[in-house]
Structure 1
Amino acid sequence: MKFRETASFAALAVALGLMPAPALAESAEAAAGESGDVIIVTGTRTLGMNAADSPAPVQILTSQNLESTGSPDLMQTLAQSLPTIQAQAFGSDLQAHNLQMKLRGLSPNHTLILINGKRRHGTANVSIAGGPYGGSAAPDMSFIPAAAIGHIEVLQDGAAAQYGTDAIAGVINIILKDNDYGGALSGTAGQYMDEGGDTYSLSANFGFAPIEDSYFNVTVQKKKKGFSFRGDVDPRVYGDNPVAASNLAKYPDVVNQDHYPYVNRIMGDPEIEQTTVMYNAGYRFGDFDLYSFGSYGHKYARAYENYRTPGIVVAADGTPFYPTGFSPLEAVRETDYSVTGGIKGMFGDLGFDLASTYGDDFVGVYVENSANASLYADTGFTPTEFHDGDFKATQWTNTLDLTYPLEIGLPEPVNIAAGLEWRRETYGIVDGDPASYYGSGAQSFFGYAPENAGSHHRTNFSQYLDISFKPTEAWLVDGAMRHEHYSDFGDTTVFKLTSRYDISDSFAVRGTVSTGFRAPTLAEGFYSGISVGPNSVGGVLPANSAAAASLGFGGLKPEKSTNFSAGIVFNPTPRLTMTLDAYWIDIRDRIMITSSFYGFYGKYCPEDYAGTNAASCVAYNEDTYNIYNQQAVYDAVSSALGGSIPSYVLLTDGQRNMDGTVRIQTFANGADMRTRGVDFTANYELPTDIGMIDLSLTANYNENKVKSVADLPSALYTSTVDPAATAIINKYTVWQLEKSTPKFRAALNAHLESDRFSVNLRESYYSRVSALETTPGNSPLAGADLVVPVKAAFITDAEIGYKVTEGIKLSIGANNLFNKYPTKRSYENIRAAQLASGSASYGTNVYPTISPYGINGGYYYGRVNLTF
């Protein structure tokens, strides 16, 4: 294995040595080798522009590029193909079912997703995690089948003034197939080398012309993915430690639990069943086109949560409800649909496009194979399946786009583009079954109580003006301005100025300066997740609530950004194209989930506490006591619950509850950030006797820096010993924002297509990433902060295809061919201590989930394609 990695490094170094240093990418149609000739519609309002002539970096992925990755999931395909995109490898709780992707290490909310140039609606399932994925409510890419896609245009440039004020990192524009004849059937099956992840996907795409001068292209996909597991034994029920000894003595039936002793199955992929239908249709009459496209999808997904020992749910007489313990499953039943209708055409030289798009995402949240411990103890009954509540989100967008070429004597007409947009968005939470939030609530996921429920909406009206002209034959200038009015945030105006100068036929320089403005999503502003357990009250206060305002947060402000980029385009021969672009992005008031703030923490007792549990108090320290017993937080949580905290959270038999906690988080404008980097792409066509070999090298250097963390509101306590301990964004989140995205990522791809055979090879390099974690109390570095790395790695993907006939092709392939895993967590400083103490974390802490190439190892697949 060491030899293979050394050889891979040498190969990549040679390739880099033959080309300019790492930088930004443009036309990445690596498999087709024709990207420079593709007419693009992203990054410009000028009609008929080739990708090679773009003043901004635009990468193109063809349907062949998407197919050759072997993954039926579009997000994973994009992450494999483009170094500037990173896919989330693992999500806790509900995020397991809706993994997100980030461009340039920014938030998923900073990338605008378009379908045929129209805004795609976001998910209703907002992430409440910390780090770069926190707060994300971007579109769920799993509902877009790859078989429906003609090509994808990725604009890696700030484009708020052109497409919408949230396009800070860039734009991904998915162009659907519009064939009016023929089609394809495809079947894919695969699994991980070591365990699980068994996957199949069946898709059909076909086009026809219902009437003359029309087309109707439809795609149907059915896919299923099985559980994977990358954890370890659970020392609570196995091994030589006091916790296991006690549990085995009390509950000897635990050895009969499924998968014993690997009973804690949370570390791995969820099981997903999904069906999606997508269509693209149009009818041309005279100078006009009627068009419509849309999608409908349903997802049923289940993810394992932490295993519960038998003593968690017991009757009044101590009899366990589950004699072997149980592993709850968090499940979603999600329905997602979208439809667009419009008309476009020409009135003389005036081009117009009038469209309306409606999108809806509904997520039903469930817990299976679980129980409510309080309900069972109080009544002797508990359901085993719970409906925890629902999330719902809609988006209705109406647009009018106009273009007009004005002849004023320049080398080319001045292209004037202008447009209007009106958008209405809604977001809401529906409360769950009472049994899901009674007492301690459903095990693994507390249900949404009526006080969490609500429905919210806002409207947005915007107008833009874009003028593009050529002062000389070699010089292109494009300026855009956009004004937006939000019903909840007021007005903003953003700008963009782009220019390109062709020094010669083979060499050009280009650059951009722009501003951006991202209004908080409704989910960031109104998500509410307060839960009440037998010993705790905690969760997320809505950022726009009165309770959050009482702590000094006062609602969310919009994020604002400034983008700079500069680059070159070099085309020394018709077969070789290279681009190099550097960028600098400043984001102010970035929205993220806050640290936890405590109104009560029982073990941190007051100095004069003399109760019967006094011996369990942490040694008295006034600063620590003030951190964990803040009256303002207590009052805010109390008001969110209708006026009081349940007494049993605070007291046990009249004495201070040492296990009791009252804590909250909320979304806030937490930090100012800077992102800077360089992107590079080179494409070369190599003719051989057996076919054309298309070579591409894409690379990205990216650095994220938290410039400053926002001040803590005055109503909250600031530590007099270590102010960082009470920061609005803690050091672990800051570390994630800065260190969890590879600083350097590169992909070297070679594709050979002959009459019968095709071969695709990709070698990807990921530089080191890391997390910051606190070591267990019984480890050699007890309570210290420890850097947990994922070391740099080369990942090899390969696919070989053979055409049995002109219409039938068989392919086999592998993603992560050599079954590479990320660096394991330190056994000496972390896992050994967890094992010795019987901690549940031992079984779930094998691999860091920040790994940019996942935690599952190699995936191997076969595919059959039939075209007609």
Structure 2
Amino acid sequence: MVLGGLTAQAQKITVTGRVVGASGEGLPGSTVLERGTSNGTSTGGNGEFSLSVAPEATLTIQAIGFKAQQVPVNGRTTLPDVQLVAAAQDLNEVVVTGSRASEGRSNILTTAPVDVISAREIKAYAQIDVAQILSYVAPSFQSSRQTITDGTDHIDPASLRGLGPDQVLVLVNGKRRHNSSLVNINGSIGRGSVGTDLNAIPTASIKRIEVLRDGAAALYGSDAIAGVINIQLKDDSTGVTASSTVGQTTKGDGDVFQADANVGIGLGGRGFVDVSGQFQNHSYFNRGLPDTAPLIYLGGSGGQYPASANTEQARRDLKAQDDALVKQNGFNRNDLRVGSADTRNYGGFLNSEYRLGGGLTAYLSGGVTHRTGKSAGFNRLPNQPTQSDLTIFPNGFLPFINTKINDQSAIVGLRKGLGGFAADLSNTFGRNELRYDISNSVNASLPQGPGIRNQTEFYAGTLIFSQNTTNLGLARKFSEVGPLATLNVAFGGEFRVDRFQIKAGEPNSYINGGRLIGTTPTASGSQVFPGYQPTDAVDKSRTNVAGYVDLESDVTEKLLVHAAGRLERYSDFGTSVSGQAAARFTLVEGLSLRGSIGNGFRAPSLQQRYFTNVSTQFISGLPNQILTVNNENPIVRNAFGGSGQQGFGVGALKQENSRNYSLGLTARVAQTVTLTVDAYQIDIDDRIVLSSSFARSNATVNTILGSLPVSRVQFFANAVNTRTQGLDIVANERLVLGEKSRLGLTAAANFNQTTVRSFNSTSSTINNDQTVGTGNLQNTLFDRQQRTRLESGNPRSKINLSANYNYGIFGIEARTVRFGEVQYKDADPARSFLDQTFAAKWITDVTLSAQIIKQVSLLVGINNLFDVYPDKFIQNPRNFETNFSVDPTLSYNSTLDNTNRGRFVYQANQFGFQGAFYFARVNVAF
């Protein structure tokens, strides 16, 4: 199958069979191709396959480390087992991403680099989420789970080639996948971006993943600045496979249980139905330390000593009283969860195809996923009555954010040959819904007292994003067109509708009930996550119309040329034109030079244009009500000092524009070694970011915010221009050491650097601010902390070294991944002594496997064999010795963030901080 399904259909039959090795063991991941075409499939977990071919076809059957076999079909629908013989050669995967040609090409013969992750690699280690699998297999891809970042705890931000989550396009079966409804607004990687929820796709449904590492907006449209991830679903028509995984960290937490199954059903030789189901349960782990706040019951904000305790003896007396209360009430100082959230995931996917006759083929695929999550926020101490109800929580409380994520998708289409062209008409629909429910919390502003029982659970609102895409594509390969040996012509059009909604929470989740403590107001809304208000609610949509043309030609035996162009018009911001030219030239046999140049774009997401809410974020130990205001709001758009609403005078969001350049070498040595080296540069103008938060301490901000019950404001803007430069290296070797003995070696690496080249601001309000220091509006628009997160928050390098060895029914997989250094900088230059570089670390994984019987295999292994953790966070007083001497029994240094209070050991998140993890997996195939 080629991207978009552009393959002409004739009368065909469905052939089933099984590919086995020397001992009769099934060979999953083998490639079965109809010779002379790109029509092919991969074998399932027990080596079984099903493929629709012409009755007179010949099948080419290949697997890594084995000699290829040619098997004539001769009208048969069932073939006997095909036994492959070991050979010292490597099969280069035929890929279809990055070109609309009617025939696929080997991944070292393409004009752009493409990684291929097979079903075998997906099942080789403990990771069971797509984002985590890719992060350990593809060096250019990075994703790690976040902690205490609201919704981002439940949808992992991911990046490709050092760019943002919203600058990589995800496809399923070659069709555009919808984005998540979540926009990341907290202090995590990908802040301000809207990505795609890769973990909504069960791994049991995946046949292979192709990662195109090149700008491809001219081929596929918006979001493809960094590249494209194409997930191809399983298309088996026979057999049943199932697996189950259990695991736990060496500290006895972070339990994982996963079970999945895949069933392939033939449709009388005219098609297939492939159904997958998966269940996952991840328990949380906690790597936080006990709270070092000096006073739990008798202190002020953050547990500090009150001003009245101004002598050492007074502090000791107060400390003794507080310790007695801690002991009397059984207060647990380990009162925070610093680690991944509890999640539970149910998912099912379908992929099917049926030949209707007359050369017409119908196909249908799609899935439904339901995921629940529970993550903790910052705890509230019993000495924080303005944020609590002490009649319910006399010992304080740890509030929880509970999410329900429902994701649905469907692809339906028809393929048919028309006048020599392969035509494909499809409609793709996707919807992602994220509901927030808050538990173990309270709205402190509601009435309290005897006989009044405040609620402790709140519905806080729902985010919804949906997308519907209708696409018509045609492709045809011509031979000997003038001086050209071949010419593949593809063209088509697309119509897309995007819709974004925010639904308000229940009133008690956001209102201020008017309760005062003396004259001090109390906090509004449900603690940890105030609900979306009716003024936040939106229902916005837009349309997009696009047309494209794609040309690819083998000009000569040595020269392949590819060109593409695309015109898009959005109903909300206008027209964009993008183009790309690429070529590959064979220097000598086995050695080729390839490169590309093009421009691209990314349309601002509806979430970035219209998202609004008020969230509670802790800054220097104090809770701040921060307003994230959408770009259409007068606070953002109106100029300061003008008539009506005072504002920042920031322009409407517009598209990001990119320029992509790449140059690389591909080599094949002695039939066993392949090597690709690709350098790239990506310049992005008008990059959309979420600003830093502007505080009322600035007089202009105070005037703009007026009487709004918030202390800070932030918004989206096309604020920066960036340049990303990098190098990708991938080398593979496959060796046959004996009749039953095979060894595979892989070395891959990515090196990248993103720099902010300049800042954009047409706002007179911001540009004319003369405030001295960090309160200056220009400094705040994109402060040094946000800049560092963009430039160095993800590893600037990643190296993957892996080996797999098989002897008969036994196998071993070993992998070590070097996650490069990352940096942290404080927003305030005066606190630059807290800046920190977190060193690179190697994470080593080992898996042992055995094919117990023909139908059953067993794997056991350990991830992070040497129990490696990131560098410790120096802002944690327990880790910080150079500048401060902190005695938690006497005082707390307010220069440090009071919300930390010694509990955050790790800040860097190159690879998480769960530590070593043991697992076992059983695979069954019939």
TM (norm. structure 1) is 0.86
Q: Give the direction of change, closer, same or farther, for the CA distance of 1:312–1:49 in structure 2 (3 Å limit).
A: same
Structure 1, 719-728 or 813-822: larger mean CA deviation = 719-728
Q: 1:25 maps to what in 2?
A: none
- Cα offset for 1:536? 6.0
User: Which amino acid in structure 2 is aligned with residue 762 of structure 1?
Assistant: R
Shift in Å, 1:695:
0.8
> Could you tell me whether the CA contact under 8 Å between 2:135 and 2:143 is conserved in 1?
yes
Q: Which amino acid aligns with 1:757?
A: F
- Identical columns (%): 31
Shift in Å at residue 718 of structure 1?
2.5
**Does the alignment pair 1:322 with 2:403?**
no
Change (3 A) 1:782 1:552: closer
1:200-237: CA deviation from partner (whole Å, max 9, x where unpaired): 10101110124431101111001000111011111236
Amino acid corresponding to residue 584 of structure 1 in structure 2 = Q
Bigger drift between 411-420 and 701-710 goes to 411-420
Which of 675, 679, 691 is the matching residue for 2:728? Answer: 679
Q: What's the CA shift string for 1:797-826, capped at 9, x where partnerless?
A: 111011110111111112211110000022
Q: Which stretch shifts more, 195-204 or 244-253?
A: 244-253
- The verdict on how the C-alpha distance between 1:248 and 1:200 changes in structure 2, with shifts beyond 3 A counting, is farther
CA distance in 2, matches of 1:443, 1:248: 30
1:315–1:863 CA distance, 2 compared to 1 (3 A): closer
Q: How far off its partner does 1:47 sit?
A: 2.0
Residue pair 1:670, 1:710 contacting (<8 A) in 2 also: yes
Instruction: Determine helix, strand or coil for the equivalent of 2:789.
Output: helix
Residue deviations 1:558-602 (CA, integer Å, cap 9, x gap) = 10000000001111221111001100000011111101113x34x
SS across alignment from 2:607: helix
Question: Residue 8 of structure 1 corresponds to which residue in structure 2?
Answer: none
Give CA deviations for 1:745-769 in whole Å, capped at 9, x if unaligned: 1111101233211111011112221
2:147 paired with 1:88:
no
Q: Aligned match of 1:741 in 761, 775, 794? A: 794
CA distance in structure 1 between the partners assigned to 2:322 and 2:458 by the alignment: 28
Q: Give the equivalent residue in structure 2 for 1:202.
A: 259
Summarize the Cα distance change of 1:865–1:237 in structure 2 as closer, same or farther, 3 Å threshold.
Answer: farther
Structure 2 vs 1, CA of residues 494 and 270 (structure 1 numbering), >3 Å: closer, same or farther?
A: same
Structure 1 residues 747, 249: closer, same or farther in 2, change over 3 A? same
Query: Aligned match of 2:705 in 615, 637, 659?
Result: 637
Aligned match for 2:719, one of 647, 651, 670: 670
Amino acid at match of 1:682: A
CA shift for structure 1 position 131:
6.4
CA displacement, residues 716-741 of structure 1 (integer Å, 9 cap, x when unaligned): 36245448953210011111211222
Residues in 2 aligned to 1:152 and 1:435: alpha-carbon distance in whole angstroms:
45
Task: After TM superposition, give the deviation of residue 253 of structure 1 in Å.
Answer: 6.0
Alignment of 1:522-541 (within 5 A): 522-530=606-614, 537-541=625-629
Alpha-carbon distance between aligned partners in 2 of 1:197 and 1:505, rounded to the nearest angstrom:
51
Q: How does 1:746-761 map to 2 (within 5 A)?
A: 746-761=799-814
Using the TM superposition, give the Cα deviation of residue 499 of structure 1 relative to its aligned residue in structure 2, in angstroms: 0.4
Q: Which structure 2 residue ranges, 5 or more long, are not aligned?
A: 1-42, 44-61, 66-88, 297-302, 307-314, 513-523, 639-647, 875-879
Aligned counterpart, 1:177: 234
User: What letter corresponds to residue 488 of structure 2 in structure 1?
Assistant: N
Partner amino acid for 1:405? K
Aligned partner (choices 756, 762, 775) of residue 815 of structure 2 = 762
Task: Give the deviation of 1:834 after TM superposition.
Answer: 9.0
Question: Which residue of the partner structure matches residue 213 of structure 2?
Answer: 156
Per the TM alignment, residue 324 of structure 1 is displaced from its structure 2 partner at its CA by 2.0
| 1:556 and 2:685 aligned | no
Contact kept, 8 Å, 2:390 with 2:396, in 1: the verdict is: no
CA 1:278–1:253: 2 relative to 1, 3 Å: farther
How much has 1:637 moved relative to structure 2? Answer: 3.3
Q: What SS does the aligned partner of 1:828 have?
A: coil
Looking at structure 1, the residues matched to 349 and 782 of structure 2 have their Cα atoms a distance apart, in angstroms, of 41
Structure 1 unaligned regions, length at least 5: 1-28, 602-627, 639-643, 647-660, 776-780
Q: Give 1:137 deviation, angstroms.
A: 1.8
Task: Note if contact 1:313-1:376 (Cα within 8 Å) is conserved in structure 2.
Answer: no
Deviations 1:98-157 (A, max 9, x none): 111100111110000000000111111111135650122222111111111111111000
Query: Where does residue 909 of structure 2 map in the other structure?
Result: 851
1:383 to 449, 455, 461: 455
Q: Distance in 1 between matches of 2:658 and 2:366?
A: 32
Structure 1 residues 259 and 699: alpha-carbon distance in aligned structure 2, compared to 1, 3 A threshold = farther
1:801 to 2:832 alignment: no
CA–CA separation in structure 1 for the residues paired with 2:747 and 2:264 = 34
Counterpart in 1 of 2:113? 57
Aligned to 1:42: 97
Counterpart secondary structure, 2:835: strand
Whole-Å separation in 2 of the counterparts to 1:286 and 1:482: 32
Equivalent of residue 791 in structure 1, options 836, 839, 843: 839
Q: Distance in 2 between matches of 1:753 and 1:784?
A: 52
CA distance in 1, matches of 2:795, 2:624: 38
What's the offset of the Cα at 1:698? 0.5
CA distance in 2, matches of 1:315, 1:793: 40
Distance 1:818 1:315, change over 3 A: closer
Q: 1:445 to 1:532 in 2, by over 3 A?
A: closer
Give the direction of change, closer, same or farther, for the CA distance of 1:725–1:819 in structure 2 (3 Å limit): farther
Using the alignment, how far apart are the partners of 2:263 and 2:392 within structure 1? 53
Match of 2:920 among 845, 854, 862: 862
Deviation, 1:183, is: 2.0
- Return the alpha-carbon distance in structure 2 between the equivalents of residues 719 and 109 of structure 1: 34
Partner residue in 1 for 2:692: 595
Tell me the alpha carbon deviations over residues 660-682 of structure 1, each in whole angstroms, 9 at most, x when there is no partner.
x6320001111100000110011
Q: 1:145 to 1:719 in 2, by over 3 A?
A: same
Shift of 1:837: 1.1
Alignment correspondent of 1:612: none
CA distance in 1, matches of 2:808, 2:387: 70
Q: Secondary structure at the match of 2:782?
A: coil
* 1:14 match: none
Distance in 2, matches of 1:404 and 1:388, equals 52
Counterpart in 1 of 2:426? Answer: 355
C-alpha deviation, 1:247, in angstroms: 8.4
SS at match of 1:500: strand
Q: What is the deviation of 1:842?
A: 2.4
CA distance in 2, matches of 1:302, 1:572: 51
1:465 aligns with 2:523: no
1:774–1:165 distance in 2 versus 1, CA, 3 Å: closer
CA distance in 2, matches of 1:478, 1:764: 34
- Tell me by how many angstroms 1:793 deviates: 1.3
**1:437 is matched with which residue: 506, 510, 516?**
510
Does the 8 Å contact 1:834/1:842 carry over to 2? no
Deviation at 1:531, TM superposition (A): 5.7
Counterpart contact for 2:292–2:903, Cα < 8 Å: no
Cα pair 1:106 1:132 within 8 Å, conserved: no
C-alpha distance in 1 between matches for 2:762 and 2:452: 46
TM-score normalised by the chain length of structure 2: 0.81
User: How do 1:602-681 residues align onto structure 2 when only pairs under 5 Å count?
Assistant: 628-630=698-700, 633-638=701-706, 644-645=707-708, 662-681=711-730
Distance (Å, rounded) in 2 between the aligned partners of 1:508 and 1:765: 29
Report the Cα distance in structure 2 between the residues aligned to 1:394 and 1:449, rounded to whole angstroms: 21
Query: 2:859 aligned with 1:811, yes or no?
Result: yes
SS in 2 for 1:80: helix
The letter for the 1-side match of 2:113 is P
Residue type of the alignment partner of 1:744: S
Match of 2:747? 697
Matched, 1:586 2:683: yes
C-alpha distance in structure 1 between counterparts of 2:887 and 2:415, whole Å = 63
* 537 and 820 in structure 1: CA distance in 2 versus 1, 3 angstrom threshold: closer
Instruction: Tell me, in whole angstroms, the C-alpha distance in 2 between the residues paired with 1:272 and 1:847.
Output: 22
Deviation at 1:315, TM superposition (A): 11
| Residues 1:291 and 2:379 aligned together | no
Partner residue, 1:395: 467
Question: 2:899 aligns to what?
Answer: 840
- Conserved in 1, the CA contact under 8 Å of 2:651 and 2:762? no
Amino acid of the structure 1 residue aligned with 2:272: Y
**Which stretch shifts more, 130-139 or 97-106?**
130-139
Aligned to 1:617: none
| Cα deviation digits, residues 462-490 of structure 1 (max 9, x gap) | 00011111221210111100000000011
